[in-house]
Chains A and B, each alone.
Chain A
Amino acid sequence: EDKVVQSPLSLVVHEGDTVTLNCSYEVTNFRSLLWYKQEKKAPTFLFMLTSSGIEKKSGRLSSILDKKELFSILNITATQTGDSAIYLCAVDSGNTGKLIFGQGTTLQVKP
């Protein structure tokens, strides 16, 4: 059975801290891994990763994929209160376009 597991499930840090969120997966036909940020309602797209070892960056956020070990990490440096959200990891498996989501990591950044 395909599955995606995120850790930790929740995290509380202070502004300025650096955080690392983890995502491991087991899927039969991997196409890509995606990270989303969900603040109130609709998740917003952060990164799509398809190749191992190539870091993607957007400001203070970065992510990398390891297809051999079947995991990805999302790093956030110099965290701000606006980074508080649920971070979702999802894997696109097969030709159907279905995304398999992890449980999400709830990040709270305190001032």
Chain B
Amino acid sequence: DGGITQSPKYLFRKEGQNVTLSCEQNLNHDAMYWYRQDPGQGLRLIYYSQIVNDFQKGDIAEGYSVSREKKESFPLTVTSAQKNPTAFYLCASSNRDRGRDYGYTFGSGTRLTVV
């Protein structure tokens, strides 16, 4: 079955450490996105990529980095510069088919906790 796989589901990080969240899709979608979800704040866009080897900052990119070396993969690194990284992280992908939009497909998320 096609879909998006995020790993790990739960991640604990010590202060000062960088961690990388994995996002893989086999939907052949061109675009991929990373969102952060905090209680009461909905989803906020961190980074997005519309094609391989290209990505753009979202609304809250500070303290995060990404890469898009393959169409299927869009890993997110949470660096030590991110002051409040404890949150739920969602990866999504989308494609546009000749005038028809299908919205996003979401992964199951990674819950990151700083200890």
Report the contact-size class of chain A (Cβ under 8 Å from the partner).
20 to 34
In chain A between 5 and 46, which residues have their CB closer than 8 angstroms to a CB of chain B?
Answer: 6, 9, 31-32, 34, 41-45
A45 and B103 contact, CB distance less than 8 A: yes
Tell me whether A58 is interfacial, beta carbon within 8 Å.
no
B42 and A104 contact, CB distance less than 8 A: yes
Chain A 88-111 interface 0/1 with B at a Cβ cutoff of 8 Å (1 = within): 101010001111111110000000
B109 and A88 contact, CB distance less than 8 A: no
Contact partner, B109, options A34, A42, A48, A97, Cβ 8 Å = A42
Please give, as numbers and ranges, the residues of chain A lying within 8 Å of B108 by CB-CB distance.
41-42
Which stretch in B19-27, B44-52, B75-83 binds the other chain? B44-52
B104 and A99 contact, CB distance less than 8 A: yes
Contact partner, B31, options A42, A48, A90, A97, Cβ 8 Å = A97
Chain B residues with CB under 8 Å of chain A are: 31, 33, 35, 40-45, 48, 50, 56, 58, 90, 94, 96, 101-104, 106-109
Bound: A97/B92 CA distance, A: 11
B107 and A42 contact, CB distance less than 8 A: yes
Bound: A60/B103 CA distance, A: 22
A48 and B103 contact, CB distance less than 8 A: yes
Given the interface contacts A42-B108, A48-B103, does A88 sit within 8 Å of B43 by beta carbon? yes
Please give, as numbers and ranges, the residues of chain A lying within 8 Å of B107 by CB-CB distance.
42
Please give, as numbers and ranges, the residues of chain B lying within 8 Å of A44 by CB-CB distance.
106
Given the interface contacts A41-B109, A42-B107, A42-B109, does A88 sit within 8 Å of B50 by beta carbon? no
